[in-house]
Amino acid sequence: MSKVYLSGALTGIKEPDQVKKFYEDIGTLCRHLQLNPYIPHTVSDPIFNQDLDPKRVFEIDKTQVKQSDLIIAYLGIPSFGVGMELAYAECYAIPVILLYEEGKPISRFARGIPTIIAEIRFKEQRDAFDELEIALKAFSGAMQL
């Protein structure tokens, strides 16, 4: 079963419950498609796991990225951590799917990563899930070849 790392901002976000639910819903979609998602806030949430040392969080997340077959990165909220996770994905030649809302200014540097296999711009989250499902099915099909 392919492992999918879900990358998204966690620190200093407005409406954290809604944002985390979005990540968890992406994880649910992955499981529905027989993919194994890793959702960082379920392990190292900056609010609920404040006792975790920053170096430990770095090692946990870096290891999880390296062990993944795919990264799904939500870029709708700027994040240093997401940028670092994307850089590691590129270094380890891990395919990436980008997600963000239409009209949001997104770094061309991040959008130019050579391992990107899909870039999903959406108006509504349901649109994001429809497009993400198509991209994940294509990824799964390519992995089976």
Check residue 93 and report its DSSP letter: T
Structure confidence at residue 46 (pLDDT): 82
Residue type, 81: G
Q: Which band of pLDDT confidence, cut at 50, 70 and 90, is reported for residue 143?
A: confident
Domain borders along the chain are 3-113+120-144
pLDDT digits (tens, 9 = 90+) for 55-64: 999 999 999 9
Q: Which two structure tokens, joined as six digits, stand for 27?
A: 């994880």
CB of 37 closer than 8 Å to CB of 139: no
Other CB atoms within 10 A of residue 84 CB: 15
Q: Does the pLDDT value for residue 73 go beyond 70?
A: yes
Residue type, 50: Q
The residue behind tokens 């392919």 is 2
Q: Alpha-carbon dihedral of residues 114, 115, 117, 122, nearest 10 degrees?
A: -80
The domain at 3-113+120-144 falls in which architecture?
A: 3-Layer(aba) Sandwich (3.40)
Structure confidence at residue 50 (pLDDT): 82
pTM value is 0.95
Torsion sign, CA atoms 13, 113, 65, 33: positive
CB of 9 closer than 8 Å to CB of 78: yes
